[in-house]
Amino acid sequence: MAADLWRSFQRERGVVAAVQGCSFKIHAGEAIAIMGPSGCGKTTLLNLIAGLDVPSSGRMEWPGLGSLDTLRPERIGVVFQSANLMPALTTIENVELPILLSSGTEAKARALAALAIFGAEILASKLPEQLSGGQAERVAAARAIVTNPELIVADEPTGQLDQAGAAILVDRLRAWGQQTGSAIIIATHDERVAAKMNRIWRMRHGKFESMVERSACTGTG
């Protein structure tokens, strides 16, 4: 839940307002695409939604999830732009990490199950430097869902996959969201990826230009 969210950055040549007065609600089971040109504020907005950054003014709250200090890694899963895997850890260790940070039980089995959702279990013992960009994105998606979060925030999670690979990753993420009732919010430049979501928010200069409901493909919530 966001009410009149603003985020400004102080820079040499003045203040940049990256997010300007955004208000919205995200419900369980929804899948939302955020689209818009580079620099329009997508990443800044996702960071606020994920609780990784605090607004300059306005309110960002997670009434269904809890307070800010209990959100990650358990309640909110994050897929960062360019995957951001820990280079010294193998694929499976990267995916186990959020579970070890929260509860620690059966981390390996749960990490393998999450990798399997994205067809990446055969990559389990590889290091990030041995993965292609697209493989790393599949592993990053597995890492984001491994704690069974109620909300997934993904910043251009398919930028290094080809069209078919991007479709598979998003389909599986969507199917997982529908099974678990989790909400998914993805920033993307790819209209085909956005078309798989049930809402599309278009941003320009830090503001929502349009927020379209796609009734043809509604989620569970």
Ligand X SMILES: Nc1ncnc2c1ncn2[C@@H]1O[C@H](COP(=O)(O)OP(=O)(O)O)[C@@H](O)[C@H]1O
Residues of the shown chain interacting with ligand X in the complex, contacts defined by CB under 6 A: 9, 11, 16, 18, 36, 38-44
CB of 45 to ligand X, least distance (A): 7
Residue 92 interacting partner from ligand X, Mg ion, none (CB closer than 5 to 8 Å by kind): none
In this structure, the number of other CB atoms found within 10 A of the CB of residue 159 comes to 18
Look up tokens 């990446």; give the residue.
120
CB of 56 to ligand X, least distance (A): 12
DSSP 55-116: -SEEEE--TTT--GGG-TTTTEEEE-TT----TTS-HHHHHHHHHHHHT-TTHHHHHHHHHH
Does 135 interact with Mg ion (rule: CB under 5 A)? no
Of 43 and 91, which has the nearer Cβ to Mg ion?
43
Segment interacting with Mg ion (CB under 5 A) among 40-48, 99-107, 191-199, 207-215: 40-48
Of 36 and 73, which has the nearer Cβ to ligand X?
36
In sequence order, what are the residues at sequence separation of 6 or more whose Cβ sits closer than 8 angstroms to the Cβ of residue 71?
50, 51, 62, 65
Does 43 interact with Mg ion (rule: CB under 5 A)? yes
Residues that bind Mg ion (CB under 5 A): 42-43
